[in-house]
Amino acid sequence: MGSGTRSLSNLPGKNHRKPSSSEEIQYWDELGARWIGMQPDRLWRAHSDAVNAAVLDAWLPRGPRGRLLKTDLFDEAAGEGLFGTLNSRFRSVIGVDLSESTAGAARSRTLGHPVTCCDVRFLPFADESFDAVACISTLDHFRTREELIAGLCELRRVLRRGGHLVLTLDNGAHPIIAVRNMLPFRLLNWLGLVPYFVGVTCGPGRLRRTLRRAGFDVEAVGAALHCPRMLAVPVCRMFQRQAGRGSKDTLLRWLMRFERLSSGPLRFVTGHYVTVKAIKPWHAPAD
């Protein structure tokens, strides 16, 4: 989206208890509508979905279970998404997104699954409503760490005791992401390097500590999406425009080979996302 994306300079800052402003909602709504309308990265989205599906398949409990909450519906609005993987494990899958355009597009593509437009920090669900939560690259779009923690606490509130949280965030230990986070968003956005607002995030150690602070027991921490993203995205765009189905499938298989690095000693250097499997403990006090 390049320089056409609006700045977030006026969005709420440190007061994480303040609901989303109308400007924040408008930003994500307009961006979602524009991105979904263009669909510039269908092939890359297919790879991203495959990587996320592998994480969920490995870490979610075997079904059939009760209810799962999925936060952020961009996967479902812009591609095949993850509902197929989630439906194989849970009887009911409910999605939420701040953007009405994204939520609406996801609703039309997911065969009538319940979809709600809301702020993940202020979920319209009762305490302990869900058996699991899949939070895919949602909480790394806030300005402050306090907002990120507020989102985690809200996810904990709606999760039943003993329930699973599978979470992915931009990996703060990845060298490119570390440099990106030191540079102004407006500059990166103007250069076309960052198409939408990205906020605070964590490396693996800090994320583990943050989850414990929010009241979770952390069972596993890993990394995902190991292909060089800055190179892979333009290659996917070229194949999307010019290659046949067979060549596209070959490229997707080749990109997935990079995920073998998930078990390597440098996984937190090569992985674009840090991934976590956490549990709401049975002994947790009432929220």
The secondary structure of 232-251 as a DSSP string is HHHHHHHHHHH--HHHHHHH
Is residue 65 in some structural domain? yes
Report the interhelical angle of 245-256 vs 229-242 (nearest 10°): 170
Q: In terms of DSSP bridges, do strands 159-170 and 130-136 run parallel, antiparallel, or are they unpaired?
A: parallel
Read off the pLDDT of each residue in 118-141 and give the average, rounded to a whole number.
95
Asked if residue 5 has pLDDT above 50, the reply is: no
Q: What does the DSSP 8-state code read for residue 130?
A: E
**What's the token pair of residue 90?**
């849970």
Judge whether 99 and 29 are in contact, CB under 8 Å: yes
- pLDDT band per the 50, 70, 90 thresholds, residue 192: confident
pLDDT at 18: 46
Judge whether 168 and 275 are in contact, CB under 8 Å: yes
- Residues whose CB falls within 8 Å of the CB of residue 6, separated by 6 or more in sequence, listed in order: 27, 30, 31
pLDDT at 201: 92
Judge whether 282 and 162 are in contact, CB under 8 Å: yes
Is residue 118 in some structural domain? yes
Is residue 239 in some structural domain? yes
Q: What is the CATH number of the domain that holds 157?
A: 3.40.50.150
- pLDDT band per the 50, 70, 90 thresholds, residue 285: low
Judge whether 231 and 239 are in contact, CB under 8 Å: no
Higher pLDDT, 110 or 206: 206
Q: Return the amino acid letter for 226.
A: H
Q: How many domains does the chain have?
A: 1
Is residue 284 in some structural domain? no
- pLDDT band per the 50, 70, 90 thresholds, residue 133: very high
- pLDDT band per the 50, 70, 90 thresholds, residue 23: confident
pTM: 0.88
Domain membership of residue 232 as a residue range:
20-279
Is residue 11 in some structural domain? no
Higher pLDDT, 8 or 264: 264
Asked if residue 6 has pLDDT above 80, the reply is: no
Is residue 2 in some structural domain? no
If 0-12 CB within 10 Å is exposed, 13-18 middle and 19+ buried, where does residue 92 land? middle
- pLDDT band per the 50, 70, 90 thresholds, residue 20: low
Higher pLDDT, 107 or 136: 136
Is residue 238 in some structural domain? yes
Distances (CA, A) of 195 to 3, 191, 198, 286: 8, 9, 9, 40
Is residue 196 in some structural domain? yes
Cα separation, 59 vs 262, in Å, equals: 14
Read off the pLDDT of each residue in 119-131 and give the average, rounded to a whole number.
95
Judge whether 105 and 32 are in contact, CB under 8 Å: yes
